[in-house]
């Protein structure tokens, strides 16, 4: 054999990873070549240095920590799926988190105006039990404007920043009221939204409702599925996916005073508002529309 | 000259599959056994790749958590050992890949070589020298590019065969040979020649 052996060959030879037919002539060369032998010994010494390094086992604390972690993991696996929806923070997509933040902000603003509206309504309640459609429309038009955040606006509203964000919602409210009148509130809560919406769709729609039935983007906006809230004090989550969500998103968070306190989106907040978690987990098909007093917010995908 | 070859069965033993099956059925003792069998090799791998005991401890925990989550999906295409190494290596890569390889400087830069390993029955001075040598080798390992570090750690510290290394690293045999050789060569240079 002429010349010298390359490092790769020497290294594989050292490890006995060369085929016998190749290794034998190399052995003969090494006996004769001091240079290759010296390099081989260098490699051997390096490998031996590594082999002589201590190979410790994991500290006991690692086993302990792992055991605790696995216990939690096992428990999580046994937990029903819906409970995971209450702890969505870890799996939140940044976009959804931003949408949630916008949504929460909108909710706080709307809740404030709603309180004002509720007070006004209570004061007016004694005057007339049954108002005409025209009266209700006038009142809706005069309701305080809440500028919805961009994420909650319809494409048409986004295209026309000057458009009153509440115009569509207030119109829809009429429809909601009519839908609610077609059945008892208790029955509504016991039925899936699809069944309710079938009844709601049978109710006569106001001209404004017909107008709001199609957005500027051409997508149908089927507000007939929005179901009337059970009482004036409670809120109802409504999904277009034909499924009831927990009602009372706002009220379950605590007294109104607490809701109005500005809070950053946090794990704690999500725990208190499981519905928000449900939405963010995308377990409910979006868009989801939520009715708050005189307004309907739409959370878009 | 002594050629060192450690042969390990690459194919999964019946034992591996039984263990996995028990884990799938929810037997907690099965995973304990996986940890008992492979805990040392995972920690050692993490320690030698990361070069820091605390980080190795965290990595070991993360690796076994992943093993726990994915063990049910183990189909026995390789031995459980190489599969666990693979999981471990991926975890180490994802953490260490973000670091520059030269972030761990040699303990005593510029010092001459590494002291020869003392014999048994060594005195305190020799023990101190051995500990020092060990630190320097570990530090030199930390300066190897990750691809070579992986290869020599798996070969010379963990004692895997070339075939097993090929499986763990998903490399062709020729590439395994080349990486081990280059890793050893670079390490020798970093250590300034090993007497």
Q: pLDDT tens for residues A49-87?
A: 999 888 999 999 999 999 999 988 888 776 555 555 555
Segment 62-101 of chain B within 8 Å of chain A by CB: 64-65, 68-69
- Between A67 and A175, the more confident residue is A67
DSSP A299: E
Residue-averaged pLDDT of chain A:
55
Higher-pLDDT residue of B155, B130: B155
pLDDT digits (tens, 9 = 90+) for B26-48: 888 999 999 999 999 999 999 99
In this prediction the pTM is 0.51
Chain A residue numbers touching B180 (CB-CB < 8 A):
11-12, 15
Chain B residues closer than 8 Å to A8 by CB: 177-178, 181-182
Give the residue carrying structure tokens 């039990």.
Answer: A129
In chain A, % of residues over pLDDT 90: 14
| Chain B residues close to A29, C-beta within 8 Å | none
Q: Does the pLDDT at position A232 exceed 90?
A: no
Does B43 contact A58 at a Cβ distance shorter than 8 Å?
yes
Please tell me the number of Cα atoms within 13 Å of A218 on its side-chain side.
0
Query: Chain A contact for B47, CB < 8 A?
Result: yes
| Chain Cα centroid distance, residue A212 | 27
For position A107, what pLDDT does the model report? 75
For chain A, which residues lie within 8 Å of any Cβ of chain B, measuring from their own Cβ? 7-8, 10-17, 30, 40, 42-59, 61-63, 65-66, 69-70, 73-74
- Measured between beta carbons, the chain B residues lying within 8 angstroms of A43 are 181, 184-185, 188
* Residues recorded for chain B: 195
| Residue B105 pLDDT > 50 | no
Q: Spell out the SS3 assignment of chain B.
A: CCCCCCCCCCCCCHHHHHHHHHHHCCCHHHHHHHHHHHHHHHHHHHHHHHCCHHHHHHHHHHHHHHHHHHHHHCCCCCCHHHHHHHHHHHHHHHHHCCCCHHHCCCCCCCCCCECCCCCCCCCHHHHHHHHHHHHHHHHHHHHCCHHHHHHHHHHHHCCCCHHHHHHHHCCCHHHHHHHHHHHHHHHHHHHCCEC
pLDDT tier for residue B121 given thresholds of 50, 70 and 90: low
C-alpha–C-alpha distance, residues A252 and A97, integer Å: 21
B142 or A188, higher pLDDT:
B142
Question: What are the beta bridge partners of residue A239?
Answer: A288
CB pair distance less than 8 Å for A7 and B3: no
Query: What pLDDT does residue A241 have?
Result: 36
CA distances from A224 to A138, A154, A176, A177, A301 (A): 21, 17, 7, 11, 20
Contact assessment for residue A296 and residue A209, using Cβ atoms and an 8 Å cutoff: no
Residue B4 distance to chain A (closest CA, Å): 5
- Which residue, chain included where needed, has tokens 């916008």? A102
User: In what helix (H) or strand (E) does residue A295 lie, and over which residues does it extend?
Assistant: strand A295-299
Average pLDDT over residues A24-35: 89
**Taking a C-beta distance cutoff of 8 angstroms, is the pair A266, A215 a contact?**
no
């Amino acid at each position: 054999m002429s010349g010298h052996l390359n490092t790769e060959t020497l290294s594989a030879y050292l490890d006995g990873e060369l085929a016998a037919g190749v290794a034998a002539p190399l052995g003969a060369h090494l006996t004769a070549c001091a240079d290759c032998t010296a390099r081989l010994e260098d490699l051997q010494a390096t490998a031996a240095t590594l082999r002589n390094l201590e190979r410790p086992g994991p500290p006991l604390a690692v086993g302990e920590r792992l055991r605790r972690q696995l216990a939690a993991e096992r428990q999580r696996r046994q937990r029903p799926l819906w409970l995971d929806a209450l702890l969505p923070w870890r799996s939140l997509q940044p976009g959804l988190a931003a949408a949630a933040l916008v949504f929460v902000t909108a909710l706080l603003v709307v809740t404030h105006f709603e309180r004002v509206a509720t007070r006004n309504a209570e004061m007016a309640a004694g005057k007339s039990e049954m108002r005409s459609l025209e009266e209700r429309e006038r009142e809706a038009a005069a309701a305080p404007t809440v500028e919805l955040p961009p994420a909650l606006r319809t494409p048409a509203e986004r295209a026309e920043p000057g458009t009153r964000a509440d115009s569509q919602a207030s119109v829809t409210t009429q429809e909601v009221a009519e839908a609610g009148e077609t059945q008892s509130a208790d029955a509504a809560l016991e039925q899936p939204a699809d069944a309710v919406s079938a009844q709601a769709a049978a109710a006569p729609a106001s001209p404004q409702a017909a107008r709001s039935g199609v957005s500027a983007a051409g997508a149908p906006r089927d507000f007939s599925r929005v179901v009337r809230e059970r009482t004036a004090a409670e809120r109802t989550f409504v999904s277009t996916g034909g499924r009831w969500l927990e009602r009372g998103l706002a009220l379950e968070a605590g007294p109104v005073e607490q809701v109005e306190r500005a809070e950053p989106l946090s794990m704690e907040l999500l725990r208190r508002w499981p519905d928000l978690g449900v939405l963010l987990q995308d377990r409910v098909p979006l868009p989801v529309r939520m009715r708050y007093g005189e307004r309907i917010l739409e959370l878009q995908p | 000259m002594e050629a060192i070859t450690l042969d390990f069965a690459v194919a999964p033993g019946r034992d591996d599959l039984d263990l996995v099956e028990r884990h799938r059925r929810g037997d907690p003792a099965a995973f304990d056994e996986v940890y008992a069998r492979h805990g040392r090799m995972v920690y050692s791998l993490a320690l030698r790749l990361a070069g820091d005991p605390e980080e190795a401890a965290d990595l070991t925990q993360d690796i076994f958590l992943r093993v726990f989550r994915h063990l049910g999906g183990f189909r026995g295409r390789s031995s459980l050992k190489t599969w666990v190494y693979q999981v471990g290596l991926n975890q180490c890569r994802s953490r260490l890949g973000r670091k520059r390889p030269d972030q761990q400087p040699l303990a005593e830069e510029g010092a001459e070589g590494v002291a020869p390993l003392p014999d048994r029955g060594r005195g305190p001075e020799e023990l101190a020298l051995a500990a020092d040598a060990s630190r320097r080798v570990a530090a030199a390992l930390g300066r190897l590019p990750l691809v070579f570090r992986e290869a020599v750690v798996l070969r010379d510290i963990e004692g895997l065969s070339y075939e097993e290394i090929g499986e763990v690293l998903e490399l062709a045999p020729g590439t395994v040979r080349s990486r081990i050789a280059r890793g050893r060569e670079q390490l020798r240079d970093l250590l300034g020649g090993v007497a």
